[in-house]
Copies of this chain bind each other. A is one copy, B any other.
Amino acid sequence: MRVKAVVAYDGTDFLGFQRQAAGRTVQGVVEAALERVTEKRVPVVGAGRTDTGVHAEGQVIAFDTEWRHSLPDLHRAMNAVLPQDVAVRELAQATTGFHPRYDALSRRYRYTVHNAPVRSPLARRTSLHMAQTLDLEAMTAASGLTVGEHDFAAFGRPTQGEVTVRRVMEARWVADPPWFFFEIEANGFLFRMVRSIVGTLLEIGRGRLSAEQFRTILASRDRSLAGQTAPAHGLCLIRVNYC
């Protein structure tokens, strides 16, 4: 049976989603939980290879299993053995061959900025602290330039020789001072593309770049012109959308 699951995690103590030869990864931890519960080796595929330190509220995974009990039982059993920084939010049967990455129509990420004179100990794991006042209007104007189909080579490198054209459906800042949330949805993202866009938008927020220069950087397809990549801990994979 093919199973689709929505997974949330605190990325702080993970070397990203994807299994690696060494180090703690979300995929590794989920596969270990599945092996413990089903007593079989169960390879898992995910919708997005979130980077070291990046969080998720709505990562989507899929796997095949011969589980003979109910799916709610599998759901509960997985959450019972998973560590506290990972949880399966939803779990359901999927169509045979369902692939969380290839079948995804879009992904939605949120980047959280804490814009206040003093850093917040309680928010330090899930937001980027910036003491300097940010020009939200300028950041909003520039983020609008990403909407639509563009070659995003300036903001990220492709994995495995993919094309660098992506379609952004939405990109906006939501302000709830001292919190600024950048929400972006696209049919796909290049490696570190969200963090590169956010880093560049924050340069604009600090008055070091203009929205016009952002337009030029985007058009240049030149990776060296973008601002610094924003740190991983402010980023969260919110949702993956399917048909």
Contacts and interface: CB of A to CB of B under 8 A. Distances in A.
B119 A87 contact: yes
A88 B118 contact: yes
A94 to B, nearest CB: 19
A205 B84 CA distance: 25
A30 B14 CA distance: 30
A193 interface: no
A65 interface: no
B89 A8 contact: no
Contacts of A149: none
A122 interface: yes
Contacts of A87: 118-121
A57 interface: yes
Interface string A108-128: 000000000011111010100
This protein's copies in its complex: 2
A85 interface: yes
B57 A122 contact: yes
Interface in A47-97: 55, 57, 79, 84-89
A55 B126 CA distance: 16
A189 interface: no
Nearest to A85: B121
A121 B9 contact: yes
A30 to B, nearest CB: 12
Contact of A126 (B84, B119, B122): B122
Contacts of A118: 8, 79, 87-89
A183 interface: no
15 contacts: A8-B121, A8-B122, A9-B121, A10-B122, A79-B118, A79-B119, A84-B119, A84-B121, A84-B124, A85-B121, A85-B124, A87-B119, A87-B120, A89-B118, A122-B126
